Amino acid sequence: MSFAHSSSTSAFPSASALPDAPATCQVPHFAPVRVRGGRYQLHRFVRHRRRAVAAGLAVTAAALVAAGPREADRSRGHPVAEPVRERRAVELVAAPVRIADGATVRLLRPGDRVDVVAAGDATAGGEAALVARGARVTKVPEPLDGAAQDGALVVLSVPRSTATRLAGASATARLAVTLC
């Protein structure tokens, strides 16, 4: 620390003016001390860590693709006590159905879903029963001139067992539809 002489009325006298003061010594110049690693090594570690993680992910992905599922190798994994039965696809058939109310059939369009209800003879105490649930309308044919009083025809896409029930119900009861 040295005091500068800015004026003669300085509050502190200079070091050379004091008789008992030791001689000043010079500190030699040296390069700044850097701690090895520190911030720079942390940055380098993070940079290389990203590369290591990316390389590890690439190797893992390649291993998963190479060891992917194969049709011939279904025995992998845990053994199963009972084999799982595969479900058969439901076979749909087109079932033509005569609906008692022709005006209701005119409301239907291909793609609509309907429930088919069989209504028994009211004089004999017949009750309504649901014959088909959620049947898809495939086609609505144009009505014939003389068939207006007999109802109207609609073609439904239903499973084979439901088609059998529809055919049996149409022989003994009047059928109606409700839109789902």
pLDDT at position 29 is: 82
- Residue of higher predicted confidence among 141 and 43: 141
More confident residue, 142 or 74: 142
For the segment 99-112, the average pLDDT, to the nearest whole number, is 91
Q: What pLDDT shows up at residue 138?
A: 95
118 and 165 Cβ atoms separated by less than 8 Å: no
Residue 160 contacts by C-beta under 8 Å, 6 or more apart in sequence? 91, 92, 93
Question: Mean of the pLDDT values across residues 111-118?
Answer: 94
* Structure confidence at residue 83 as a pLDDT band (50, 70, 90): low
Of all residues in the chain, what percent carry a pLDDT higher than 90?
27
The more confident residue out of 166 and 34 is 166
Instruction: Name the percent of the chain lying above pLDDT 70.
Output: 64
* Contact status, residue 99 vs residue 175, Cβ threshold 8 Å: yes
Residue 75, pLDDT score: 55
Where residue 56 falls among pLDDT bands split at 50, 70, 90? confident
Q: Output the six-digit token pair for 153.
A: 């025809």
pLDDT of residue 50: 77
* 113: CB partners within 8 A, 6+ apart: 134, 135, 136, 137, 179, 180
Mean pLDDT to the nearest integer, 52-68: 83
- Residue of 82, 104, 165 whose CA lies nearest to 131: 165
Using a 10 angstrom Cβ sphere, with 0-12 exposed, 13-18 middle and 19 or more buried, the burial of residue 85 is: exposed
pLDDT, mean of residues 6-18: 55
| Average pLDDT rounded to a whole number, residues 50-55 | 79
CA–CA separation, 153 vs 173, rounded Å? 15
d(CA 156, CA 134) in angstroms, rounded, equals 10
pTM over 0.85? The answer is no
